[in-house]
């Protein structure tokens, strides 16, 4: 069974565990929205090329947010927690 309460959504639980999830989603939708807005002034660029650029930019932002999330988790698990454990052992 799940460990979260009925009032708490899965998204909110994931966002608390990894704060870069909402950042990645927000960036993805911001880039897609901006590129869709700029579509009318794309000039001579073909539609397929414009859509490919939009997809690559959005995916790049999400991959960057995921990388930051992994680095944050590694920092929290391997640097902060051992320090806290040493502090408790020394008391």
- Angstrom distance (rounded) from CA 6 to CA 24: 25
- The model's pLDDT over 42-91, given as tens digits with 9 standing for 90+, comes to 788 888 888 898 899 999 998 998 899 889 888 988 988 888 887 777 76
pTM of the model: 0.67
- Does position 3 have pLDDT exceeding 70, yes or no? no
How do the domains of the chain map onto residue ranges? 10-90
What's residue 60's pLDDT? Answer: 92
What pLDDT does residue 85 have?
80
Q: Burial of 24 by CB count in 10 Å (0-12 exposed, 13-18 middle, 19+ buried)?
A: buried
Task: Give the per-residue pLDDT at 87.
Answer: 78
């Amino acid at each position: 069974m799940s460990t979260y309460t009925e009032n708490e959504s899965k998204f909110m639980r994931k966002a608390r565990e990894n704060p870069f999830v909402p950042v990645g989603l927000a960036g993805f939708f911001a880039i897609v929205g901006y590129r869709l807005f700029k579509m009318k002034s794309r000039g001579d660029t073909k539609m397929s090329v414009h859509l490919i650029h939009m997809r690559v930019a959005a995916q790049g932002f999400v991959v960057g947010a995921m990388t930051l999330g992994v680095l944050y988790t590694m920092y929290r698990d391997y640097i902060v927690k051992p320090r806290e454990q040493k502090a408790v052992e020394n008391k």
